[in-house]
Structure 1
């Protein structure tokens, strides 16, 4: 995947995280995001976002960061 695809994955992960901030419990919110990524993202997408987290991860929101780390 190219850089544009990684940028899209980061944006999507952050959007999913933003859509799950209504609970008020960061751990539960991260679990909901992780469940979404596990269910709906292709293995290659998950692998690329995990690799990004391991090498940088700075553009991911904290909840997205926690979710990606747990998948």
Structure 2
């Protein structure tokens, strides 16, 4: 899957979960990515966030940074 597609997907997930507090939203997004994204997809979006991440929404970036802690 292309990085562009992953960015679009994680931004949609972030938008759909933005009605919670920031902490709750991040937890929900990380939980979703952990459960439903393949390891290769998670690693690809983490790498993108570390290298550039310019197209990620702030909430998506926070969530990916939190997700990255699980895969260090």
Instruction: Give the structure-2-normalised TM-score.
Output: 0.88
Consecutive unaligned residues of structure 2, counting only runs of 5 or more, are 68-72
Unaligned stretches of 5+ residues in structure 1 = none
RMSD: 0.9
TM-score, normalisation: structure 1: 0.89
Paired with 2:54 and 2:11, the residues of 1 have a C-alpha distance of 12
What residue is the counterpart of 2:10 in the other structure?
A: 13
Count the aligned residue pairs: 67
SS at match of 2:3: helix
Q: In 1, distance between residues paired with 2:64 and 2:13?
A: 12
Matches within 5 A, 1:19-30: 19-23=16-20, 25-30=21-26
Q: How far did 1:31 drift?
A: 1.1
